Amino acid sequence: MNRVSVPSSKSASSLQVLAALSEGIDDLTPEVKKVAAYVLENPYDVSVSSVREIAHSAEVKPNTVVRMAQSIGFDGYEDFREPFREEVRRGINQFPDRAEWLQNLGQRGRLGEHYRDMVSSAIGNIEDTFAGIDSQDFQAAAKAITASRHTYTLGVGVNHSNAQNFTYLASTGMPQMSAIPKPGSTAIDDLAWADERDVLIAMTCKPYRTEVVEAVAIAQEQGVRVIALSDSPASPIVTSADHSFIVAVDTPQFFPSSVSTIAVLETLLSFVVGVGKPNIVERVRRFHDRRHELELYVEDT
């Protein structure tokens, strides 16, 4: 096993610890790799969790956590944990600290500056979006979906894949989901028999797509409840929607960002599962159990 150590285990920052762990993870044994992956995905837990708690969360033995710490130059878990605890004591509660991280990115030349701008924009869009949404908004929309006879998800262009992904995931627990327009059809045709028992999730941002705006208008004429995702309260699909989510889409590049749209859809899906009937969870479990039985996943070794 190749050993990758932090520059100085006595004065290392949490960022240096995580970087060393990431760099050397492929050389670790399977069990040590499991706990390393857990730490990389949950760095906040290190500052507040004992070796036994980390081991329990990562589903390994406590001495495996110690071996993980030793793999990058620490004497044991407590030494490994200290940089994370020290940064919490100093009020640094992000791993890595964003301001320092973005500043370092910008010092790597023109592409580094572009990278910094893209990262800053993505984080800012998430913050701006969720700052304007209350959890009750998600709950109300989720209840409308779970109570519906059928829920249609409409997105075209860049939002087509977003609509497809949401529908695919939601359909593992609820059979009444479909993404539109279907191949060879139009959204208006797909909504022909929709009524007040149904829900339409529609998404479009500037420049607003005509087919989405028209489909929303027709759906509302038929009594369909509309959940709109768009970039402005003045958006033509938002102004008369039953539920709406305003997403920030600013970006240094030409194309509008989809980061916030995806985050809102993922959060909405979690609320759908949360407010839904127990059979939704059971359907999801059965769906994934069957995929494992059919050996569609690479199992851990």
Res 1 pLDDT > 50: no
Collect all residues with Cβ–Cβ distance below 8 Å to 122 and sequence separation of at least 6.
251, 257, 259
The whole-model pTM stands at 0.64
The residue count of the chain comes to: 301
Mean pLDDT for the stretch of residues 61-76? 92
Instruction: Give whole-number Cα distances, 17 to 83, 183, 219, 243, in Å.
Output: 8, 49, 53, 44
Quick one: pLDDT at residue 103? 54
Res 273 pLDDT > 80: yes
Q: Which amino acid is at 230?
A: S
Lowest pLDDT segment from 11-25, 118-132, 161-175: 11-25
HSE toward the beta carbon, residue 20, CA cutoff 13 A: 22
Mean pLDDT for the stretch of residues 279-298? 76
- For residue 247 the two structure tokens come to 């997403």
For 157-203, the pLDDT digits (tens) are 999 999 999 999 988 888 889 999 999 999 999 999 999 999 999 99
Quick one: pLDDT at residue 95? 47
Lowest pLDDT segment from 25-29, 267-271, 284-288: 284-288
Quick one: pLDDT at residue 97? 52
Quick one: pLDDT at residue 12? 73
For 137-163, the pLDDT digits (tens) are 999 999 999 999 999 999 999 999 999
Quick one: pLDDT at residue 2? 44
What is the spatial distance between Cα 221 and Cα 200, in angstroms, rounded to a whole number? 12
Whether the bond between 62 and the residue before it is cis, its omega within 30 degrees of 0, is: no
